[in-house]
Structure 1
Amino acid sequence: MNTQITASPKLFIGIDIHKRSWKVHCATDLSSGKTFSMLPDAELLYEYVAKHYTGYEVSTAYEAGCCGYRALRCFVGYGWRSLVVNPADIFRRGKERHTKTDRIDAQLIARELKDGRLSGICVPDECREQLRSLFRRRNDLVKDMRQIKSYIKMQLLYYGIRIPQEFDNDHW
């Protein structure tokens, strides 16, 4: 009897992303895998996967956070299926709820990805993301300017300096 492989092997990568390092857990459809730390660089992860998991269908997931969507865009560019997930959507069993480490987070993400229980958040395209950031910075600056004007008026009031009527408004 001649046996043939009919399905390609699958690799599930859970990543706990931080500014200075990534904690990565690689699990296959047949094994629970291993966890390791690496520099925060998608290209290095690609090289690792190309070296150790040639021919695998790769799926990655990481929690949404301060590091944005650059890693996701790199992973998708490599042809990998990739998700950014809401941290609250990752199921944690009993003890896992109380113990939180980067290693455990990476393992949980890989496990949930492997079991098909993760759904990703809506990731904006780069242009929309940049516009959103621009509008947020503008709103922050307007708020700061309003606060500074209020401080100046309070200081003048404290010293008994009267503000001329034409300048005692929001548009000065």
Structure 2
Amino acid sequence: MNTQQTACPKLYIGIDIHKRSWKVHCATDLFAGKSFSMSPDPKQLHSYVSKHFKEYEVTVAYEAGCCGYHAHRCFESYGWRSLVVNPADIHRKGKEKHSKTDKIDAQLIARELKDNRLQSIIVPDRKREELRSLFRRRNDLVKDFRRVKSY
């Protein structure tokens, strides 16, 4: 009997992103997955996925935070489905509410992604993101100026 694969296997990647390192958890439809740390470089993750999960349909998710949307844009340029999620939208069960580590966060994101329970926030385009950054910088400078004047 000759069997052929009719459905494309799916890979779900949950990432806990920080400035200096990423904690990554990869899971598929068939196995719970593997967690590992890596440098914060989307290209490095792309080469890992290309090497180990060549024929998989990839979906990536990470929490919105201080690191912006550069990784999201890179993931989408690779042809992956990418979600930037609100941290409050990630459902935590019993013990998970009390124990919070980067590894657990990455596993939770991958699990929620696999169960299709995550929705992405609206990711601004580059121009809007740059305007936000400029506005925040201006507010910081105005606060510093007031503080200096009040001495």
TM-score bucket of the superposed structures, by smaller chain: over 0.9
Listed one character per residue, the Cα deviations across residues 35-63 of structure 1 (whole Å, up to 9, x for unaligned) are: 11111111010000000001100000011
Task: Give TM-score, length-normalised by structure 1.
Answer: 0.84
* Superposed counterparts of 1:1-172, under 5 Å: 2-151=2-151
Give the superposition deviation at 1:136: 1.5
Unaligned runs of 5+ in 1: 152-172
When structure 1 is superposed on structure 2, of 137-146 and 120-129 the one drifting more is 137-146
Give the superposition deviation at 1:90: 0.3
Letter of the 1:98 partner, please give it: H
Q: Secondary structure at the match of 2:150?
A: helix
Unaligned runs of 5+ in 2: none
Higher Rg: 1
Give the superposition deviation at 1:68: 1.0
Q: Distance in 2 between matches of 1:24 and 1:70?
A: 17
Give the superposition deviation at 1:7: 1.1
| Residues matched between the structures, number | 151
Shift >4 Å, 4+ stretches? none
Percent identity, please: 75
**What is the CA RMSD across the aligned residues, in angstroms?**
1.1
Give the superposition deviation at 1:2: 4.4
* Higher RCO by CA contacts (8 Å cutoff, separation 6 or greater): 2
